[in-house]
Amino acid sequence: RTEFALKEIMSSGGAEDDIPQAERKTVTDFCYLLDKSKQLFNGLRDLPQYGQKQWQSYFGRTFDVYTKLWKFQQQHRQVLDNRYGLKRWQIGEIASKIGQLYYHYYLRTSETSYLNEAFSFYSAIRQRSYYSQVNKEDRPELVVKKLRYYARFIVVCLLLNKMDVVKDLVKELSDEIEDYTHRFNTEDQVEWNLVLQEVAAFIEADPVMVLNDDNTIVITSNRLSETGAPLLEQGMIVGQLALADALIIGNCNNQVKFSELTIDMFRMLQALEREPMNLASQMNKPGMQESTEKPARRENPHKYLLYKPTFSQLYTFLAASFKELPANSVLLIYLSATGVFPSGRSDSEGPYDFGGVLTNSNRDIINGDAIHKRNQSYKEMHCLHPGDLYPFTRKPLFIIVDSSNSVAYKNFTNLFGQPLVCLLSPTAYPKALQDQSQRGSLFTLFKKAFLFVSGLSSMRRGLWEKCQDYLRKINRDIAQLLTHSRSIDQSFLQFFGDEFLRLLLTRFIFCSATMRMHKIFRETRNYPESYPQLPRDETVENPHLQKHILELASILDVRNVFLENTLDDY
């Protein structure tokens, strides 16, 4: 590349001798940094996707080179314009790569502040119109770079809940796709239109809108805020375990998705993160922070996001998480997947006799698959059975199963005496709610689930904030009920010391109590369950909690959808 660039200089600027030595060196140095940055960036693909340590020094080196390259082109812009012919889209490409680096660093670390950094670089590209001249060049591959930039920017904005920016970007991307397909008659037109459809469906998946007085939409977040989880109060005896790692798995057929992220995965990953902070005030360059430096607050748990994994992929990531789990830490597994039911009758009731949830078969070629289909006495191969998770219960394990066969995981056995909890979604919802499944599960709607089952699709901000305050009071009372229970399994209390798990547990109990009181949730399969079982009279059917739910319903003027004398109905 360096020789090529210098030849270009010679052909455009006359004899090589006419070019000052300093300017020639500037071009040579720029070409070197550009080549090095591309080489390191491409090498990121070869890093193992699992394991938290091997990649950090490589990321650090890549950031180093890109930082130098970015500053270099800023300092020597005029020389590079004149002698190298640096185009604005090339500057845009460098900025886009830095944005991608920050985004991938977020995926590796789960530190939401890196999303803000990715956003600032992607925003700069748009504000400074770095890609604006691309459409004048007769090169479809350059336009594709621009379209990919838009798609990546949209993902970052979705994760930061910047929905106003998302809507603007979608409109711009739509215009760009139309121009691209009109000019180049390419084969990837259908794919790009599918991208537009996916993001539009993703934006519309939220079934409840909160509105300002001027009818603009209030952006709500599932992330953990400082007032999110109920505080531990004096006298609450809970474990000291901390959530360190999470596998978020999405394998639901026909669920809204964008960029290998289903709506359930999206909501769940945010529930395991704190609200982003400004990175500049927090830490140094990514990959460069010394292990001795302690962040100002506890980090987010590390996450793996697995979209439609095969059994072998899922097990590989699970084993990596298990291996690297620190002492006194918890591994969380969230399974949002289509249920797999046992194909034949079984005389036994073991951990492989109740089915489980679907794993992807597309990328796993297993010998004898056709034979297995014919013989009903064999177990389903492309399925995560409860028994598959038994080896991992040697360490504290917190499982959430959101599936039509979640109850398969009710038949767990705690073999090793470590803390173990499974929270299980309803296996079926009342008919009135079933057509919503494409837009995500009721189980991951969290704060908005109560509004949704009450038939509300929009509400004013003032009322929303009043409800949030009351919900915080309910969560505090649930924490009291749980920690003062005489018959609760100790696993629940072991996990209750971690604020993420504490909020998930209090939300689960609130959700379960609400559904048991709702007039249209009348079948047992409509209710969430858990392993070990919660003492109903002290938690999900507690009269004090039921009174709170009716009061919340009164605030929203939806008391008529709940049963008043719930205890008499059992």
pTM: 0.90
What pLDDT digit, counting tens, does each position of 508-527 carry? 999 999 999 999 999 999 99
Q: How confident is the model at residue 19 (pLDDT cuts 50, 70, 90)?
A: confident
Q: For residue 503, what pLDDT is reported?
A: 94
449-468, pLDDT tens digit by residue? 899 999 999 999 999 999 99
pLDDT above 90: percentage of residues in the chain: 64
Mean pLDDT in residue range 230-238: 83
The CATH class given to the 242-276+299-361+379-561 domain equals: alpha beta
pLDDT of residue 262: 93
Lowest mean pLDDT, pick from 7-16, 48-57, 112-121: 7-16
pLDDT at 277: 67
Number of helical H runs and strand E runs in the chain: 18, 11
Kindly indicate the confidence band of residue 233, based on its pLDDT and cuts at 50, 70 and 90: confident
Confidence of residue 482 (pLDDT cuts 50, 70, 90): very high
**Maximum C-alpha span of the chain:** 97
Q: How do the domains of the chain map onto residue ranges? A: 18-205, 242-276+299-361+379-561
Establish how many alpha carbons lie within 13 A of residue 284's alpha carbon, considering only the half-sphere containing its beta carbon: 9
Question: Strand 420-424 vs strand 397-402: parallel, antiparallel, or unpaired?
Answer: parallel
Distance (Å, whole) CA 58 – CA 65: 11
Q: What is the mean pLDDT of residues 264-281?
A: 80
pLDDT for res 350: 84
User: Tell me, what's the pLDDT at 426?
Assistant: 94
Mean local confidence (pLDDT), 20-30: 92
The confidence score (pLDDT) of residue 564 equals 83
User: 47 falls in which pLDDT band (50, 70, 90)?
Assistant: confident
Q: What is the DSSP letter of 334?
A: E
Mean pLDDT over 96-108 rounds to 94
- 3-class DSSP state for residue 21? helix
Helical H segments across 2-87, by residue range: 2-13, 21-43, 56-75, 77-79
| Per-residue confidence band for 52, with pLDDT thresholds at 50, 70 and 90 | low
Write the CA distances from 245 to 30, 282, 324, integer angstroms. 41, 22, 9
Give the number of other CB atoms < 10 A from CB of residue 241.
21
Which pLDDT band, with edges at 50, 70 and 90, does 378 fall under? confident
pLDDT at 439 over 90: no
Asked if residues 445 and 508 have their Cβ atoms less than 8 Å apart, the reply is no
Q: Does 399 score more than 50 pLDDT? A: yes
Q: What is the pLDDT of residue 259?
A: 86
Residue 387 has pLDDT above 70, yes or no: yes
> What is the CA angle 202-207-208, rounded to 5?
125
Is 404 strand, coil or helix? Answer: coil
Which pairs from 104-108 meet CB under 8 Å and 24+ separation?
104/44, 104/59, 105/59, 105/286, 105/287, 106/159, 107/305, 108/52, 108/55, 108/59
Q: How far apart are CA 362 and CA 372, in angstroms?
A: 16
pLDDT at 51: 74
Q: Which residue has the higher pLDDT, 388 or 13?
A: 388
Range with the poorest average pLDDT among 239-253, 334-348, 496-510: 334-348
**356-358 and 383-384: which strand pairing?**
antiparallel
Residue 370 has pLDDT above 50, yes or no: no
Contacts of residue 439, Cβ cutoff 8 Å, sequence gap at least 6: 204, 205, 206, 207, 256, 263
Provide the pLDDT for residue 497. 92
pLDDT for residue 294 is more than 60: no
Share of the chain above pLDDT 70, in %: 88
Q: Is the dihedral of CA 529, 533, 537, 539 positive or negative?
A: negative
Considering the four listed CATH numbers 1.25.40, 1.20.58, 3.30.70, 2.40.50, the one that applies to the domain covering 18-205 is 1.25.40
Q: What is the pLDDT of residue 297?
A: 54
User: Does 361 have pLDDT greater than 50?
Assistant: yes
Sign of CA dihedral 486, 490, 491, 493: positive
- pLDDT tens per residue, range 143-199: 999 999 999 999 999 999 999 999 999 999 999 999 998 888 788 888 999 999 999
3-class DSSP state of 515: helix
The one-character DSSP state at 437 is G
Asked if pLDDT for residue 64 goes beyond 90, the answer is yes
Which tops the pLDDT comparison, 294 or 327? 327
Q: How far is CA 295 from CA 61, 109, 282, 290, 300, in A?
A: 22, 13, 7, 10, 11
Cα–Cα distance, 43 to 66 (Å, whole number):
14
Torsion of CA 431, 432, 433, 436, to 10 degrees: 100
pLDDT of residue 207: 86
Residue 96: what are its φ and ψ, rounded to 5°? -65, -40
DSSP H helical segments within 345-495, as ranges? 369-374, 431-434, 449-453, 461-484, 490-495
> What dihedral angle (degrees, nearest 10) is formed by the CA atoms of 187, 190, 191, 195?
150
* Lowest pLDDT segment from 43-57, 74-88, 394-408, 502-516: 43-57
Separation in Å, CA 90 to CA 64, 146, 150: 19, 11, 16
Q: β-strand 383-384 against 397-402: which pairing, if any?
A: unpaired
Question: Rounded to whole angstroms, how far apart are CA atoms 35 and 382?
Answer: 43
Separation CA 173–CA 185 (nearest Å):
17
pLDDT for res 227:
78
Residue scoring higher pLDDT (146 or 298): 146
Q: DSSP class of residue 138? A: S
- Residue 171 CA to residue 202 CA, distance in Å, equals 15
State the DSSP H helix or E strand holding residue 154, giving kind and residue range, or none if neither: helix 140-159
Local structure of 231: helix, strand or coil:
coil
The chain-wide mean pLDDT, for the chain, equals 87
Mean pLDDT on 279-307: 58
What string of DSSP letters covers 277-318?
Answer: --GGGT-SSTT---TTPPPSSPPPPEEEEEES--HHHHHHHH
pLDDT for res 295: 39
pLDDT the model gives residue 443:
83
